[in-house]
Copies of this chain bind each other. A is one copy, B any other.
Amino acid sequence: MPAPVDHDARRRDVSEAVWRVLAAHGFGGLTLRAVAAEMGCSTGLLTHYFPSKRALVRHALEIADERTRTRARRTPPEEGLPALRAALLDVLCLSPKDVAMNRVWVSSWDRALGDPELGAAQTERYARWRAALRPHAEAAIRLGRLPAVDPDDVVATVAAFAHGLVVQALFDPARFPPERQTALLDAFLSTLANPPES
C-alpha cells in the first residue's frame, strides 16, 4: 500500500521545489510555473496543492517558518552575553544555508508589507524573536555584563543591528564575509557591554 507514502513524498517534493525557487528568485519569482519547472511537472498538477497564488505564498511562508524553527542552532553557551551572541550568530549570513534562509525572509518583507494578514504575521514573528532574545539580555544585566537598561530596548537594538547586517551581507557578500560579520557583531556587543572589570 504505497499510496500514502507517495502522497507524503510528493508533498515533500513540492515543498523542496518551492524552497529552491524562493532561495533562487525570492517571493517576486515565486509562481506556479517556476515551481512546476523546478519539479519538471505540469502547472496543472500543482493547482491541486495551490488553488491560488495566495495559497502558494502562504505555503512558502509556512516552509520558511518550519525551516527557521527546526534549523541547527549553536549550543547555548553560558547565559547572558555569550548566549545573546550565539543567538545573533544564528541569524547572520555565515553559511550558504544561512544566506538562502535570510534571502527568503528579506524577500518575504515585500509581500508582508503589501498584505495586512501577512504583515500581522511578520509583526508577530519579530515580537517572538525579540521575546526569545530577552532572557539573554535580562541575564546579562543581572550578571552586570550589560548596563541596567530596559531589556526591551536591548533586544530591539541587537535585532536591528543583526538584521541590518544581514541585508548588507546579502547584497555585498564580498565586503561582508562571515569573518567580518562576526567581528562586527563582537565589536558591537562589546560597545554595549560594561567593561569586564566593572
Is A157 a contact of B187 with CB atoms below 8 Å?
A: yes
Contact-residue bracket for chain A = 35 or more
A92 to chain B, nearest CB (A): 11
Give how many copies assemble into the complex. Answer: 2
| Main secondary structure on A side of the interface with B | helix
**What CA separation (Å) do A103 and B170 show in the bound complex?**
19
The closest CB in chain B to the CB of A192 belongs to B191
> Would you call A5 an interface residue if the criterion is a C-beta within 8 Å of the partner chain's C-beta atoms?
no
Excluding A27-B110, A126-B172, A164-B167, 10 further A-B contacts by CB distance (< 8 Å) are A26-B113, A28-B114, A106-B109, A110-B110, A113-B171, A123-B171, A123-B172, A157-B187, A160-B168, A163-B167
Residues of A within 8 A of B (CB): 24-29, 103, 106-114, 119, 122-123, 126-127, 149, 153, 156-157, 159-165, 167-168, 170-172, 175-176, 183-184, 187-188, 191-192
